[in-house]
C-alpha cells in the first residue's frame, strides 16, 4: 500500500490487489466462529440462514430454468407469489449463480456469498474512503469498520440480506465522481449499482436511496455555481430509471404486503429500534454472539431488550470520530474549512441524523423505552408507505458508513502530519486494525448444524410423481424446505416473518395429525407424500387405516393417503358427530353454568383481572377498567378458579377502547390455559380491532376453534389488547363476558 495517489496506474492496481488479499485473510479469521472455511460446504447457522440459503438456491434454480416463475417459489404450497413473503434476494443470487452451477449445494452457495459480502463491503468502502481522504492506509481502516463492525458480525448469523451492503459505497463514489466531472460513465455505473443494491434487499434499497438523496443535496449545493443543479436533475432522472427497472419486482412485494396486511405497527418498530446504549455498550450474553469487549464486561452490563440492539460502535472508532469532530468544529468556528473538512462535517451530520432515525419512534435509553417522540414517529404516522419497514435500527448501516469515512479522515490527517516511513505507516496501520477488529471479534462459536440431505428426500427425488409434499409436525423448521432443494417438489412448509392467517390456521389443524380433520385437509391441499418425524407421531401414522407407508426410516417415515374418497366421507361424518357431541355437551352444561361477566362496576375492583406484563394495574372507575401500556408485548389476564368447562361457553365478548393510532391495522389476541397445558400459539384466537379512541365491542367466536372445544377445562384467560404495543398507549375495558349464548356454531 502507499499513502499518495502519484503512483502509476500499475502501482494503484497492485495496491488494490494487496488490500483485497488482506481483506480476504481478515474475513476468514472474523467469520471463523460462524463457519470455518473448511466447513463452508456443510455448516449452516440455525434460524434465518436456512431460509435465505433456500431463497438463494431457488433464485438460481428459477433463473436457469423458469425465470418467469421466479416469484412462485416451491415452498408454502399451494400459495402463489411466495418468494415475496420475504426478501427475494435476486441481486444477491447473481453472486451465487456461478457457485450454484459448479456445485448444486445451497449451504455452499450461501456461505461463499457470506464471505464475499464481507470482502466486497470492505473493498468498496476502501475505494470510497481512498477517493475522499486520499490515503490508502486510512482508507483500509475505514473498510474494516464498515465491513466488520459489531452490527455486521451480529447479522452474520443468518441475516444475509442485511449484509449485502457492498454496493452502497460504490453508488456514493460514482455519484461523487459524476458531480465532479460530469462524465456519464460514472452516472451509468452509479445507476447499475443502485439497481443491484435495490434488488439485493429492500431494506438496503431504502437506505441507499436515503444516502443518495443526502449526498446529492450536499453535492448540488457545493457545486451550485458549477453546473451542480443541472447534474442533480440528471442524477434524479437516473434514479427514476433505476426504480422503473426495479418496479416489476417491487410490485410483487407490495401485493403480498397488501394481501396479508404486512404493514408494520409502531410496536414492531419499537421492538426493532436501536438503543442509545447499544451504540456505546457492546452486546452481552442475552445475544447469540458476544463481541470480545462484551464478553469482558458482561457482568457489568446487561442488555435485556431483545431485537436489533447490537449497534456497538467500538471505543477506538468512537474516539477517532470525536477527534475528527473536534478538529472540524474548530476550523468551522475559524471559517477555515477545507474540502476534506466540509466532507467530514457533512458525514458527521449524516451520522447523527441516521442515528436519530435508527432510534425509531421513541428514544430508547439503555433498554428503557421513553415517551420522547422522535422524527420517525411523525413519519410513521404521516407517511404510511414507510410502515413496510420493521427494523428501523438498520439505519445504523449508514451510521457505520459515515463512521468509517470520518475515521479514515482523522487517520489521514495524522499520517499527513507525522512523517513516517512506509514500513512504520504499515506497522501502525496494522496495529490499529488489530485493535479495531478485536473490539468486534466474536470469541466463541455461533450455534450451527451440519446440513446434509436426509434419506426421506433422497427417496422422494427418485420418484416420478411431481406432486406436493409436507413435513410433519408443522414446525417452522428451515431444515424442512431447505431439504426440498434436492428435488424442487412443491412443499407446504415454509417460514415467514409476517403472519399468514391461512397458513397459521392450517398449522393448528395439522398439529392433530393423523386425525380425520388433518387428513382431509391434506387431501384438499393435494399432498402426495407426507414426511413424518418423531417416534410418537410415526407410530400414530403407522396405525392409521387411511395412510400407506411408502418409506420406512425408523424415526422418519413417508406416507401417502389411501382411498381419498373414504377420507372425505369419514371426515364429514366425524365433523357431524363432533358437532352433535358439542351440542349435547353445551345443552347439558348450560343448565349448570351461566355467563361469566366482569362488568367493572365496583370502584377499585378489577374483579380478578390483573396486568400480567407491561401494563399498569387496572384503575376501575365509573364502570370502566383502565390501564396504560409500559412496554412492548403488553397483556392482562385472569385465573379461573375453579377451572370452567370450555364447552359451556361459546363466545368471549369484550367492549374496550384503544388509543387512537390514526388508522393503523391492529388486532387483539386471546389465549387460554388448561390445567395440564401451558400457553402456546395453538390455543389462541386473533381478531382485528380499531384503535380510534372509541369504544367498540369485539367477539371471539370460541366454538369456531376446535382447540377451544377440545380443551375441556380452561384454567386462565389472557387478553392482549395489542399484538405489539408501545409505552403510553391506553386501554379502557367496559366489560368482558364469557358467554353461554347463543348456541354453538361447531365446525
The tens digit of pLDDT for each residue in 179-203 reads: 988 899 999 999 999 999 999 988 8
Are the beta carbons of 293 and 282 closer than 8 angstroms?
yes
Q: What is the pLDDT of residue 743?
A: 55
More confident residue, 348 or 87: 348
C-alpha distances in Å from residue 617, one per residue of 318, 604, 627, 732? 42, 10, 6, 12
Beta 713-720 vs 448-450: how paired, if at all? Answer: unpaired
- The model's confidence at residue 285, banded by pLDDT at 50, 70 and 90, is low
The residue assigned the cell 443518495 is 212
Q: What is the pLDDT of residue 747?
A: 43
Residue ranges per structural domain of the chain: 9-166+263-440, 167-262, 453-562, 596-739
Residue 5 has pLDDT above 60, yes or no: no
* CA atoms of 331 and 333, how far apart (whole Å): 5
**Where is average pLDDT lowest: 134-148, 273-287, 395-409, 706-720?**
273-287
Residue 145 has pLDDT above 80, yes or no: yes
Mean pLDDT to the nearest integer, 669-698: 87
Q: What is the pLDDT of residue 627?
A: 94
Residue 689 CB-half CA count within 13 A: 33
What is the pTM (predicted TM-score) of this model? 0.88
Q: Provide CB contacts within 8 A for 684, sequence distance 6+.
A: 669, 670, 671, 672, 707
Q: What is the pLDDT of residue 87?
A: 86
Give the architecture-level CATH label for domain 596-739.
Answer: Sandwich (2.60)
Give me the percent of the chain exceeding a pLDDT of 90: 47
- Burial (Cβ within 10 Å: 0-12, 13-18, ≥19) of residue 545: exposed
Residue 28, classed as helix, strand or coil, is helix
**Where is average pLDDT lowest: 142-151, 462-471, 735-744?**
735-744
* CA atoms of 347 and 405, how far apart (whole Å): 8
Mean pLDDT to the nearest integer, 399-403: 96
More confident residue, 116 or 336: 116
Q: What is the pLDDT of residue 189?
A: 94
Mean pLDDT to the nearest integer, 95-104: 91
- Burial (Cβ within 10 Å: 0-12, 13-18, ≥19) of residue 244: exposed
Residue 615, classed as helix, strand or coil, is strand
* CA atoms of 30 and 32, how far apart (whole Å): 6
Residue 531, classed as helix, strand or coil, is strand
Average pLDDT, the chain: 87
* CA atoms of 546 and 560, how far apart (whole Å): 9
Q: What is the pLDDT of residue 304?
A: 55
C-alpha distances in Å from residue 217, one per residue of 205, 211, 501? 18, 10, 44
Residue 347, classed as helix, strand or coil, is helix
Q: What is the pLDDT of residue 426?
A: 87
Residue 309 has pLDDT above 80, yes or no: no
Are the beta carbons of 468 and 77 closer than 8 angstroms?
yes
* CA atoms of 210 and 203, how far apart (whole Å): 11
Most confident of 264-268, 282-286, 435-439: 435-439
- The model's confidence at residue 241, banded by pLDDT at 50, 70 and 90, is very high
* CA atoms of 362 and 271, how far apart (whole Å): 11
- The model's confidence at residue 724, banded by pLDDT at 50, 70 and 90, is confident
* CA atoms of 685 and 701, how far apart (whole Å): 9
Residue 284 has pLDDT above 70, yes or no: no
Q: What is the pLDDT of residue 389?
A: 76
Residue 298 has pLDDT above 90, yes or no: no
Torsion angle of the four alpha carbons 139, 144, 146, 149, in this order, in degrees rounded to the nearest 10: -150
Q: What is the pLDDT of residues 504-542, one digit of tens each?
A: 888 888 988 898 999 999 999 999 999 999 888 989 998
The residue assigned the cell 387512537 is 660
Residue 303 has pLDDT above 60, yes or no: no
Mean pLDDT to the nearest integer, 60-88: 89
- What residues form DSSP beta bridges with 615? 629
Mean pLDDT to the nearest integer, 315-324: 93
Mean pLDDT to the nearest integer, 22-30: 95
**Where is average pLDDT lowest: 12-16, 19-23, 253-257, 550-554?**
253-257
C-alpha distances in Å from residue 126, one per residue of 130, 140, 165, 321, 500? 6, 6, 13, 17, 42
Q: What is the pLDDT of residue 326?
A: 93
More confident residue, 219 or 444: 219
- What residues form DSSP beta bridges with 736? 598, 654
Give me the sign of the Cα torsion angle 183, 189, 195, 198. negative
The helix-helix angle for 396-417 and 315-333 (nearest 10°) equals 70
Mean pLDDT to the nearest integer, 722-743: 85
More confident residue, 315 or 382: 315
Residue 462, classed as helix, strand or coil, is coil
**Where is average pLDDT lowest: 133-147, 385-399, 480-494?**
385-399
Residue 454 has pLDDT above 60, yes or no: yes
Q: What is the pLDDT of residue 242?
A: 92
First to last CA, the chain: 73
Q: How many helices (H) and strands (E) does the chain have?
A: 26, 19
- The model's confidence at residue 318, banded by pLDDT at 50, 70 and 90, is very high
- By C-alpha distance, which of 520, 530, 517 is closest to 489? 530
C-alpha distances in Å from residue 379, one per residue of 373, 382, 390? 11, 5, 14
Residue 722 has pLDDT above 80, yes or no: yes
* CA atoms of 144 and 469, how far apart (whole Å): 45
More confident residue, 496 or 146: 146
Residue 686 has pLDDT above 60, yes or no: yes
Mean pLDDT to the nearest integer, 682-705: 89
Q: What is the pLDDT of residues 197-207, one digit of tens each?
A: 999 988 888 89
Residue 204, classed as helix, strand or coil, is helix
Task: Judge if the upstream peptide bond of residue 78 is cis by omega within 30 degrees of 0.
Answer: yes
Amino acid at each position: 500500500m502507499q499513502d499518495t495517489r502519484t503512483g502509476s496506474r500499475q502501482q494503484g492496481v497492485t495496491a488494490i490487489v494487496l488490500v483485497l488479499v488482506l481483506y480476504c485473510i481478515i474475513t476468514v479469521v472474523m467469520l471463523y466462529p460462524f463457519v470455518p472455511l473448511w466447513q463452508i460446504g456443510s455448516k449452516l447457522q440455525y434460524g434465518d440462514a436456512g431460509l435465505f440459503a433456500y431463497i438463494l438456491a431457488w433464485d438460481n434454480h428459477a433463473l436457469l430454468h423458469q425465470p418467469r416463475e421466479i416469484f412462485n417459489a416451491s415452498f408454502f404450497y399451494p400459495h402463489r407469489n411466495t418468494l415475496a413473503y420475504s426478501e427475494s434476494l435476486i441481486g444477491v443470487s447473481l453472486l451465487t449463480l456461478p457457485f450454484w452451477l459448479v456445485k448444486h449445494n445451497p449451504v455452499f452457495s450461501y456461505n461463499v456469498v457470506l464471505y464475499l459480502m464481507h470482502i466486497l463491503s470492505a473493498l468498496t468502502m476502501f475505494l470510497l474512503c481512498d477517493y475522499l481522504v486520499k490515503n490508502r492506509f486510512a482508507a483500509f481502516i475505514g473498510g474494516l469498520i464498515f465491513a466488520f463492525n459489531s452490527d455486521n458480525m451480529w447479522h452474520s448469523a443468518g441475516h444475509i440480506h442485511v449484509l449485502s451492503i457492498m454496493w452502497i459505497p460504490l453508488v456514493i463514489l460514482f455519484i461523487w465522481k459524476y458531480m465532479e466531472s460530469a462524465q456519464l460513465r460514472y452516472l451509468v455505473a452509479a445507476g447499475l449499482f443502485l439497481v443491484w443494491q435495490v434488488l439485493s434487499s429492500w431494506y438496503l434499497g431504502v437506505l441507499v436511496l436515503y444516502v443518495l438523496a443526502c449526498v446529492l443535496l450536499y453535492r448540488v449545493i457545493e457545486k451550485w455555481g458549477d453546473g451542480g443543479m443541472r447534474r442533480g436533475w440528471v442524477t434524479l432522472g437516473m434514479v427514476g430509471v433505476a426504480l422503473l427497472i426495479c418496479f416489476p419486482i417491487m410490485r410483487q412485494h407490495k401485493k403480498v404486503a397488501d394481501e396479508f396486511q404486512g404493514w408494520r405497527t409502531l410496536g414492531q418498530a419499537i421492538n426493532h429500534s436501536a438503543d442509545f446504549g447499544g451504540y456505546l455498550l457492546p452486546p452481552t450474553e442475552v445475544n447469540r454472539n458476544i463481541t470480545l469487549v462484551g464478553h469482558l464486561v458482561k457482568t457489568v452490563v446487561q442488555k435485556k431488550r431483545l431485537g436489533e440492539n447490537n449497534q456497538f460502535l467500538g471505543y477506538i472508532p468512537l474516539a477517532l470520530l470525536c477527534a475528527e469532530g473536534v478538529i472540524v468544529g474548530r476550523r468551522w468556528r475559524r471559517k477555515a474549512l477545507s474540502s476534506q473538512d466540509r466532507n467530514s462535517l457533512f458525514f458527521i451530520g449524516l451520522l447523527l441524523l441516521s442515528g436519530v432515525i435508527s432510534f425509531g419512534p421513541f428514544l430508547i435509553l439503555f433498554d428503557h423505552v421513553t415517551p420522547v417522540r422522535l422524527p420517525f414517529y411523525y413519519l410513521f404516522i404521516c407517511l404510511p408507505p414507510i410502515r413496510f419497514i420493521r427494523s428501523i435500527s438498520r439505519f445504523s448501516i449508514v451510521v457505520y458508513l459515515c463512521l468509517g469515512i470520518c475515521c479514515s479522515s482523522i487517520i489521514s490527517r495524522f499520517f499527513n502530519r507525522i512523517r513516517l516511513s512506509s514500513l512504520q505507516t504499515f506497522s501502525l496501520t496494522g496495529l490499529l486494525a488489530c485493535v479495531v477488529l478485536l473490539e468486534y471479534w466474536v470469541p466463541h462459536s455461533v450455534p450451527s448444524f451440519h446440513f446434509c440431505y436426509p434419506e426421506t428426500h433422497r427417496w422422494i427425488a427418485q420418484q416420478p410423481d411431481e406432486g406436493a409434499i409436507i413435513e410433519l409436525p408443522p414446525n417452522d423448521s428451515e431444515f424442512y424446505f431447505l431439504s426440498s432443494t434436492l428435488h424442487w417438489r412443491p412443499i407446504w412448509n415454509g417460514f415467514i416473518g409476517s403472519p399468514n392467517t391461512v397458513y397459521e390456521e392450517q398449522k393448528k389443524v395439522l398439529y392433530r395429525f393423523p386425525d380425520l380433520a388433518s387428513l382431509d385437509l391434506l387431501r384438499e391441499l393435494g399432498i402426495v407424500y407426507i414426511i413424518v418425524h418423531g417416534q410418537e407421531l410415526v407410530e400414530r401414522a403407522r396405525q392409521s387405516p387411511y395412510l400407506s407407508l411408502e418409506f420406512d426410516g425408523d424415526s422418519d417415515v413417508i406416507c401417502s393417503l389411501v382411498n381419498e374418497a373414504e377420507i372425505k366421507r369419514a371426515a364429514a361424518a366425524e365433523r357431524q358427530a363432533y358437532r352433535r357431541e358439542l351440542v349435547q355437551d353445551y345443552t347439558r352444561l348450560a343448565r349448570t353454568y351461566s355467563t361469566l361477566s366482569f362488568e367493572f362496576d365496583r370502584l377499585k375492583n378489577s374483579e380478578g383481572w390483573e396486568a400480567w406484563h407491561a401494563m399498569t394495574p387496572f384503575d376501575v372507575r365509573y364502570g370502566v377498567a383502565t390501564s396504560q401500556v409500559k412496554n412492548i408485548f403488553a397483556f392482562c389476564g385472569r385465573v379461573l378458579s375453579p377451572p370452567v368447562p370450555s364447552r359451556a361457553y361459546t363466545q368471549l365478548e369484550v367492549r374496550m377502547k384503544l388509543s387512537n393510532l390514526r388508522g393503523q391495522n391492529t388486532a387483539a389476541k386471546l389465549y387460554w390455559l388448561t390445567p395440564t397445558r401451558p400457553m402456546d400459539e395453538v390455543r389462541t384466537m386473533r381478531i382485528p380491532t380499531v384503535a380510534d379512541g372509541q369504544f367498540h365491542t369485539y367477539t371471539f367466536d370460541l366454538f369456531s376453534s376446535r382447540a377451544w372445544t377440545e380443551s375441556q377445562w380452561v384454567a386462565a384467560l389472557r387478553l392482549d389488547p395489542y399484538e405489539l404495543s408501545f409505552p403510553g398507549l391506553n386501554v379502557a375495558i367496559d366489560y368482558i363476558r364469557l358467554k353461554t349464548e347463543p348456541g354453538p356454531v361447531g365446525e
